Structure formats: structure tokens, C-alpha cells
Amino acid sequence: MSMRTLPLVFINLGGEMLYILDQRLRAQNTADDNTQKGVWSEEDRKRVMNDIVATMFNKAFMEELLKPQDLYSHGALRRVLTRLAHASIMRLNPASMDRLYELMVMAFKYQLLLCPRPRDLLIISYNHIDTIREFVRDTPSVLNQVDETHRKIIEVYTPLSDGEFQLLRQTLLIFLQDMHVRVSLFLKNKVQNPNGRFALSTTGPVPHGIEVPGLIRMFSSNGKEWKRWEFPTGGSYTSSIRVGSFERFGDRVIRIGTNMYSVTQPEETHTSENYSQKVNSEPNLLAKEELNLLARLLGGMEVQNRNTETGFQVNLFDTDQEEEAGASGGNGDQSFEVINIQATQDVQVNTELARIAGEFTGEPEQTELPEGPSNKGDDLLAMMDELIEL
Amino acid sequence: MYHKEKSIQIKSSASALYNNLSVLRIAPRSLTYFTVVHANMVNMVSASWDGLNYSHRQLQSKEANVTTSSSLIMQAAWCVLPSRDILVLTSQKGIQMYESDGSIMVYWHALETPETPTAQAVFARGIAAVREKYICVGISSGSMLVFDVPSKGSNITLSEVLEEHKESITDMASECSGSLECIADMVSADDSGNLCVWKSGEDFQLLNKIPGFDMSCSSVKLWKGTVVAGYGTGQIRLYEAVTGIVHAEVNAHARWIYSLDIAPFSGLLLSAAEDSLVRVWHLTMTPETNSVEIVHMYNECVTDTQICGAKFCDGDGYAFAVTGYDLICLQQTDLAANSSEWRVREENLGRWHNGKHSTHHANRVNPLGGNSNVGRSYSEDRYTALSELQGTSPCFNLTLPVTLPAVHSDGSHPTSDTSVAKGGAGK
């Protein structure tokens, strides 16, 4: 269908990946458990972010993406995103990459569904770019790449009509169809139901350019309104708020696509005006399932820091109450509040690293049917290999 | 007014596409067919009226070249013509036409695709059966293909290409009231909201062009010379087709409208949108003032679902079916048994049973009371004639004097039925 999906897919999925990685790396850095080894320093974290962003916003890479083409398959997209994730000193094993991909994709699906107007997909993309800009603001060369790309995206996408944006959105929704992975953050915030489907509200402001439903107007043949009356809408809508900025800078207004993993998010144990939830003492099994996934993701992250050892332990929740309640040490994840993760030991790490390194030069997995005369994404992979310095 | 019936499962979930539900009522076999598009496949469900038998079939999009990536289907719809019903599938690669049960493909038209992909997507979308022998299909470039369809066989030919729209076609509709007095036969809509009104014939004639002001029109219907159009802004507008005069404007939905349908005998209108709501309206014509009035009747919320298809299951609007993105079922809603409309329907059926009607254009009682002296669509004509012979009721959900023909689990029917279904005696 739409030939213009790829650049937005990469910016949004890549952006989500960076949000997750940033949050995980910060979480390890701020943990004060004294058994922690191989801490990611502030410098390490910034280096990882810079390396990935530099690869993602590389000029030639973006130009390749901006060519009109069909959307890649899930397999091809995952391969390219895996290479992207490995464009730094950080390594993820395939299982962790699987989980990371699921999280990224579900976040993007949520953003697509809740996107008020199809054109607002650009605002969502710009929210991602804005945050990415923050990640690399100390590195002028990479910052410049991000700005250049942003300019290019504005140039290419601004002329598209609403109908073309809806086609783009429909293409992406077809791509993400039938995915119902439950994400603990979404379940917690009640934006996702226990069955994996997202909650769509029938209240609130209407999107910009849409009238509040409820009015019927009749016109005579000379165009004059001669009758008007209202009907019950079954929802409770208010007028739209102001439109967000489609420029390189400005108030985007729409919050979808901003970093929901950031440390400034309210803790789930606190009650606040936004989240009027009590502390949930009932173990939420589904949320635990997703926390396990995050844990496994963490378990797969090793520090390739030549001077330090590679084991570490992380608590996902850093409030005292929950740390006390959690199981101490060990490798169990029996507690619902705290999951303790230990990285694999040296020997395993080395073999794991060797295998992953092998993937870079190895053939792509033959897990699916060929996608065409030339495998989609292969050109892109080749380009990324040149960009990545191992 | 209405109440929800049980859901019908489909083999795979519905894709987020405009007008993603098509319904065909086969009265002689007491069946209703539904189609829902899922990516590169069409799910067909055949549901018996007693709610006991369901059979499924899946149709794949045809790829021009097996090595290229699979072709996404944009729309699937039945075209009802006097002597046959054709199921049309429009995709990125072309247009496929099948016999009504999806068993045999009778025609394939490939779209021209450029060597290297251009920024403009290529696909076919928008399907309408017009008068006795035309099927029209829209293209992403804005062109419309007119196919000439014989009364049987596969000798379907491309009769004309209409180049009036400049943006991608979103939907097309033909005059559905059955009245022969209407001048306009068809309306087409595009991504910028422009509407073209046509008269069919050897050469289709453009009667009127209604501007859209860049508000994408995703769904359109034509009834008694009135164009009913649903927009991305959530609004519904009623126009007089040949003059373009706006009769009414409704701020109907809070999100993009995905589907409109009209029950031609009663003038009920169904609208469905991404805002999870399905709304039922009533249209009344007042010939004295030459205007159309629209009144709101009913709302239904399909929780946490962006609806992409909603259709009445019969010409009176006694029931409707809905499908939504990622939903793996069709939700059916039926006129509530305790409503006043139900009593009217019972009276109406009594008349059918006694065979009191005499002509094809007898007064029909619509679900809202009053009479609407409307002609009927071709399939209604055919099955009415047959039901006169068989003495069965044309409406479902009632006890029937004749046993229903069995439906095999693979969707095939006993051979004795096919001769009845293809309208030998009635026409």
C-alpha cells in the first residue's frame, strides 16, 4: 500500500528502542546495591546512545529509507533493528532482542491507534526526534545529523494529504495486526486491557479540525440553515485543543510518542491526580509476565567494558518499600515486586559474545520465505555494517 | 431499538480498511454471506438464518508474479446484478472477480505497476454494480474502470476508463432505491473529498462534480437521488446528487468515518467510525420541499474497537453487522423483539405469508411505521419471486414451514439447491 512508511517506522521504533535502552542503562547506574558490578557509567550510557543515534540518522541510511518502497516484513525489520542496537558497545542476545522488539512494536501500535488524526503520526515521530535530540545534545556532530534528518522528513511529509496519511497509518496497522503482547507499563496505566487490547476512550477532546459530535443541521436550497438540533452521542466529547507544531521545534501538544519510560514518570505506588490508583497488593500475574520479559532483556545485556567484570544485579523498582518486600539476592524471581537479575558469568558471556559477533558476518537467518528478487533490507544491512565499528 | 446478537467468528481479524464488510443475502437458501478483508486474504462466512450453521472460506489475493511480495487487498464487495452476483476483490496488483460463493474466479484484471516504485501507491479500491450490467472499480490514480458483465460466463470486458478524479478513489456507490426514476446511477468519492455523480450507459456521463475541500470522503451512498457521504472529519453530509445542493450536515463522529450503509426500503442509514461508535439514522424525503431530513435513531458502542465495516443484513434494516480492526469476529445486532418496530415487522411478515402482495412494487412497511412505496433491488426481486413459489418467509429469525437445505462444513451445498438458487423459475 503506502510507499512512505519506512522512515517513520524507523524513527518511531528506533526511538522507542532508545527510550527503553536509556531507561535501563540509567536504572542500573542509579541503583545503590553494593553487589552491583560493571555499572554503566554516565559516559558509557551516552556513548551507547550516541553510537546508535549516529547510525540511525546517518545520511546515506536515511536516504535509502526515504526512497518509495513497500514496508519490510517483521523479519527484515527486526534484523535491521538488531544491527542498529548493536551499533554500540552494548550487546543483546537474541531472546532479549525478541523481547525488545515486542516492546517497541507494541508501543508503536499503541501510538498508531491513539493517534488523533492520521497527520498527527508526524507529531508522534517528532516527539521521538525531540527526545533523541536530547540524548545526543552533547555531541554536535550527531546532533547535526538528527537536525538534518528532521529537516528532510518535514520536507518529504508535509505535502502529503490527510488521505495519504490515513493510507500510511492503515498500512502500518495491517503490519501490526494481531499483536497483543501485554506490556506491564500499559497494563499498569490501564491503557491496555488484560486481553492485550488497547483501551480506546469515548471521552475527551476531539482531534483538531473535527467538530464535537452531536449536531444536525438542515439547509435549504439556497444554502441557508433552517433547522438545527442535537442528538445523544453516547460519549462525552469536548472541543479540540490547539494544534501542535509541525516544525523542527515547538510545542507538540500531543504527548503520544514521548518517553513514557523516563525517570520523571510518577511511581506507581504514589497516588497522584493523574493516576488515582491504590497500591496494588494483589500480584498481577500478567504484569509479572512482562516484568519477566524485561528481566530477561536485562539479563542479556552485558557490559563490554574491558577493565571491569561483567556481573551485575539490578532492582527494577527502587522504592524502599518494595525492595524490603523483595527476595534478597539469589537468582529467584518469585517476588512480585522485585526481580533480581544476574548477568551471565564470564565463560557464558564470552561464548555468547562470540556467537553474536559471528552473526555480523554470518548469513541472515533462513526463517522465512524469500521476500523478492533481492531480500528487502539487505542493502540496508550492508550499509549498516560499514557504519558500525566493532 | 436494537439489541446485540451473538458474534460470528471469522478466520482472521479484520484489517483497518474503509468499508471492510460486505453482506449478501441468499433468501432461497436462507443464508447470509459476509466478507471481511485481512491483509492479503478475504474471509468469507456463510451463516444460516437459524444461527446453527456456519461455514468458512478464504480467498487469497492473486499475485501477478510469485516472487514479488504478497499483494494487500483493499476491499471486497458483492456486486448484485439481475441474473448473477459477482464477488469483486480489489488489491495492490489488480481486480479479481468470483462467482458469488467465491468458488470460481471468473475474471482477473492486472493493474499497471511501474518498474521502480513511485511515491504514489498503486492499488484498486471502490466497487459498485451499476444498472443491469456494469461493475465499476476505482484506482489509486483516480481513474475508474467500467466493466461490462454478461448475464453468465466469464466474458467480462473493460468497457471504459473514466478519468475525472485526480486523487485516489476511496468508495463508489450506485443508486440503491431500485427506483427507475432517478437520473443519477452512480457516485464516486476520492481522497480529497471530491464527489462525481454519473449516469451509466455505453459511455458514462458525468452529471455533477461536488467539491470536497480536501476533506477525505471515505464512504459514500446514493439513495433516491441523494448522496450520503462520510468524511475523515467525522461528518456526514447529504447532497442532492444532480445539483450538489447540501441538504444536511451532521457532526456525527469524533474520528474518521470508515463505513456507511443504507437500508433502501426503510431509509435507515448506518454510520461507523474509528471512535468505536455505530450510529443508526433515518432519512426521509419530502418531495414537496425537495429536501431530505435526517434523524438520529440509535447508538452502539463496540468497546475499544476502531470500527472498519458496518452493513445492514437486509433491505429493511432489521439487523446489522459490524467488524473492527483486530476483531476476529463479526458482531450482529438485531431489532429488539419488544420494540414497536418488531410488531410492525410481524404484521409485514403476516402479509408475506398470506401472499397478499401482488406486484413487485407493492407497498412495503418499513421498521419505522408508515409506508414507503419503493422498488426493490434485483436480489430482492429474485428471492421474492422464488419465495412466492416456495411459500417461505423472506425474513429470517422465524420458524419456517420448509426445512432448510443442509450446508456442508466445507461450504458446498447439495446439488438440488443450485438450480433453485440461480433463478430459473422466478425470472
Instruction: Give B131-148 pLDDT, tens digit per residue.
Output: 889 999 999 999 999 999
Q: In the structure, what pLDDT confidence band is assigned to residue A34 with cuts at 50, 70 and 90? A: very low
At B260-272, the pLDDT tens digits run 999 999 999 999 9
Nearest partner of B162 among B183, B181, B186, judged by Cα: B186
Q: Which residue has the higher pLDDT, A98 or A290?
A: A98
B182 confidence band (pLDDT: 50, 70, 90) = confident
Residues A188-213 have pLDDT tens digits of: 888 999 988 999 988 899 999 999 99
pLDDT at A258: 86
Strand partners, B145: B137, B161
Chain B hits for A223, CB-CB cut-off 8 Å, are 245-246
Give the pLDDT band of residue B115 (cuts 50, 70, 90): confident
pLDDT at A85 over 60: yes
Residue ranges covered by each domain of chain B: 1-15+263-427, 17-163
Grid cell in block for residue B127: 466497487
pLDDT at B344 over 60: no
Looking at residue B349, its pLDDT comes to 47
* pLDDT of B208: 95
Residue B218: is its pLDDT beyond 90? yes
Residue A302 confidence (pLDDT): 37
| pLDDT on residue A365 | 39
Contacts of B229 (CB under 8 A, 6+ apart): B189, B193, B195, B217, B219, B220, B221, B236, B237, B238, B239, B260
Q: How far is B376 from chain A (nearest CA, A)?
A: 28
**C-alpha span between B32 and B53 (Å, rounded):** 11
Confidence of residue A377 (pLDDT cuts 50, 70, 90): low
Are A373 and B67 a contacting pair at CB < 8 A?
yes
Query: Quick one: pLDDT at residue A285?
Result: 45
Which helix (H) or strand (E) segment is B350 a member of?
helix B340-353
Segment A283-328, tens digit of pLDDT: 344 444 544 454 444 444 433 333 333 333 222 333 333 333 333 3
List the grid coordinates of B340. 414497536
In terms of CA atoms, which chain B residue is nearest residue A234? B299
Residue B417 confidence (pLDDT) above 60: no
Q: Mean pLDDT throughout B40-68?
A: 83
Q: Could you identify the residue written with the cell 497500591?
A: A279
Residues of A in contact with B226 (CB under 8 A): none
Q: Which CATH number is correct for B17-163, 2.130.10.10, 2.60.40.1180, 3.30.70.330, 1.10.580.10?
A: 2.130.10.10
State the Cα–Cα distance between residues A46 and A25, nearest whole angstrom: 10
In contact, B359 and B308? CB cutoff 8 Å: no
Residue A92 has what pLDDT? Answer: 81
Average pLDDT over residues A6-20: 93
pLDDT confidence of B420, banded at 50, 70, 90?
A: very low
Higher pLDDT, B338 or B163: B163
Minimum-distance CB partner of B245 among A197, A209, A221: A221
Cβ contact A173–B246 (<8 Å)? no
Distance from A336 to chain B by nearest Cα, in Å? 29
Q: Which of A153-162, A379-388, B97-106 has the lowest mean pLDDT?
A: A379-388
A334 pLDDT exceeds 70?
no
Using left for φ > 0, alpha for ψ between -120 and 50, and beta otherwise, residue A383 falls in alpha
Taking the CA of residue A223 and the nearest CA in chain B, the distance in Å comes to: 7
What confidence category does residue A150 fall into, taking pLDDT thresholds of 50, 70 and 90? Answer: very high
Q: How far is CA A33 from the centre of its chain?
A: 28
Smallest Cα–Cα separation from B105: which of B160, B156, B36? B156
Residue B129 pLDDT more than 70? yes
Of A100, A122, A108, A229, nearest to A173 by C-alpha is A108
Poorest-pLDDT segment among A4-18, A200-214, A359-373: A359-373
Mean pLDDT, rounded, for A28-36 = 53
Share of chain B above pLDDT 70, in %: 77
DSSP B40: T
Rounded average pLDDT over A155-180: 94
Say if strands B205-210 and B217-223 run parallel, antiparallel, or are unpaired. unpaired
* Average pLDDT of the segment spanning A29-48: 65
Q: Which residues of B touch A116 (CB under 8 A)?
A: 255
Look up the pTM and report it. 0.76
CB contact under 8 A, A231 and B296: yes
pLDDT at B69 over 60: no
Please tell me the distance in Å from B330's CA to the nearest CA on chain A.
Answer: 16
CA distances in angstroms from A149 to A7, A133, A255, A376, listed in the order given: 10, 11, 22, 22
Mean pLDDT, rounded, of chain A = 72
Inform me whether the C-beta atom of residue B354 falls under 8 Å from chain A C-beta atoms. no
Q: Is the pLDDT of residue A25 over 60?
A: yes
Average pLDDT score, chain B: 79
CA distance B59 to B62: 9
Pairing of strands B73-80, B364-365: unpaired
Summarised one tens digit per residue, pLDDT across range A222-258 is 889 989 999 998 888 998 888 888 888 888 888 888 8
Judged by CB atoms closer than 8 Å, whether chains meet at A218 and B293 is answered as: yes
Q: What is the pLDDT of residue A379?
A: 60
CA-nearest of B175, B195, B19 to B90 is B19
pLDDT of residue B343: 53
* Helices (H), ranges, chain A: 6-30, 42-56, 59-66, 74-85, 94-114, 121-135, 140-157, 162-175, 184-188, 285-299, 320-325, 346-361, 378-387
- Is A206–B254 a contact, with Cβ atoms under 8 angstroms apart? yes
B215·A170 Cβ contact <8 A: no
What are the CA-CA distances from residue B275 to residues A113, A195, A206, B218, B313 (Å)? 11, 20, 10, 15, 22
Mean pLDDT computed over A117-133: 94
Q: Which of residues 379-418 of B touch A (CB under 8 A)?
A: none
Q: Is B158 on the interface with A (CB under 8 A)?
A: no
Query: Any bridge partners for residue B271, and if so which?
Result: B260, B279
Which residues, numbered 303 to 342 in chain B, qualify as contacts with chain A under a Cβ-Cβ cut-off of 8 Å?
Answer: 303-306, 325-326
Alpha-carbon distances, residue B76 vs A35, B20, B30, B96, B128 (angstroms): 62, 7, 22, 9, 11
- Which pLDDT score is estimated for B169? 96
Give the Cα separation of B136 and B159 in Å (integer).
Answer: 10
| CA-based nearest distance B163→chain A, Å | 19
Q: How far is A170 from chain B (nearest CA, A)?
A: 6
Confidence of residue B347 (pLDDT cuts 50, 70, 90): low
Interface contact A113-B252, CB threshold 8 A:
no
Residue A107 scores a pLDDT above 90: yes
Which pLDDT score is estimated for A263?
53
- Chain A contact for B235 (CB, 8 A cutoff): yes
Contact at CB, B69 and A235, closer than 8 angstroms? no
Asked if the C-beta of B245 comes within 8 angstroms of chain A's C-beta atoms, the answer is: yes
Look at A164-173, A186-195, B188-197, B338-347 and tell me which has the smallest mean pLDDT: B338-347
